[in-house]
Amino acid sequence: MICIKLPHTDFEVSEIAFGAWAIVGGFNWGPQDEKDSIDALRTAYEEGINFFDTAEMYGSGASENLIHKALGEVRNKIIIATKLKPADYAYADVKKATEERLKALSTDRLDLLQLHWPNPEIPVEETMRALSELKQEGKIRAYGVSNFGKQQLQEATKYADEISSNQLPYNLLWRAIEYEVLPECKQDNIPILCYSPIMQGLLTGKFADAGSVPDDRARTRHFSSERPQARHSEEGCEDLTFETIDKIRKIAEEYGKPMAEISIAWLLSQPAVGSVIVGGRNGEQVRKNVKALDCKLDDDVLQKLNEATQPLKEKLGNRADLWEGKSRIQ
């Protein structure tokens, strides 16, 4: 497992991070056995993952509690990233919410504290001032943002010059950040932490066509706005999405690797990517995901994947919000 040093920090994070949302179940994840969640977390650590990404919004602190329960004994050997919800971005609320996150994780410091989504209702200057003070106080070791677009990053960096990361949705079926956000991150030396690397299962090949995708996973702009849980008004591009998946599947078959491994390996090859956040609801799933580290793609395969997914990239355009027509990522 290769580790990289995030800028403005004194620690290194594994190139694959464990995403700790699905382990709480609920939402579109379904029922989850706590024993499986503990097994997933411990297996991730045993496989060399030292970077664990969570948030208050993942089960109202339940995900943070599980990380402590599973890995509290090795707290000094792991890096924990958590997030503040947008309603807590006012100066005093940042301070209060940080204390709550410390309590939920049963720890004396947060390694990486992130802003979960932009909040245009609260001046970013105020939020960044609070984060900078928390770092000076030793309550947090570093701070980052999540779902910030080019303009939002430019505004944030006016008031804070130590942003260590930007967490964004990025995968072979969702390359919208390549137009503006990724170049901005690269220019500002802000590594991207990629979430949804296998597009909620679409890049595992488990769904034969758009009709077989359950509504709670068909909320993105790939799918028609007529889907019950859609939050956009677009026609979607369901046929093109599955034509693209079929192309990726064929490339994976030629290479002799599963689609999921190819998809994660592709991300690890992209510029400005710091770590790829991969979930796992049990130890077996974690072990499968880590195998992507053994998948080294040559330039020819990378080019084939880029060409296969370019039409979908162009169809979806440069609006970096995966779910909503009016982009929250500006």
For 88, 173, 309, 323, the CA distances from 81, given in Å and listed in that order, are 17, 26, 31, 24
Burial of 68 by CB count in 10 Å (0-12 exposed, 13-18 middle, 19+ buried)? middle
93: part of which helix (H) or strand (E)?
A: helix 91-105
Phi first, then psi: give them for residue 121, nearest 5 degrees: -80, -15
Burial of 298 by CB count in 10 Å (0-12 exposed, 13-18 middle, 19+ buried)? exposed
CB atoms < 10 A from the CB of 12, how many? 14
Beta strand 163-169 pairing with 192-195: parallel
Tell me how far apart the alpha carbons of residues 27 and 151 are, in angstroms, rounded to a whole number: 31
Query: DSSP string covering 118-170, please?
Result: --TTS-HHHHHHHHHHHHHHTSBS-EEEES--HHHHHHHHHH-S-EEEEEEE-
What number of CA atoms fall less than 13 Å from residue 84's CA on the CB side?
Answer: 31
Tell me how far apart the alpha carbons of residues 17 and 19 are, in angstroms, rounded to a whole number: 6
Q: Which two tokens mark 90?
A: 């006012």
Strand ranges, E, within the chain: 3-5, 12-14, 16-19, 51-53, 79-84, 112-115, 143-146, 163-169, 192-195, 273-278
By annotation, the residues acting in catalysis are 58
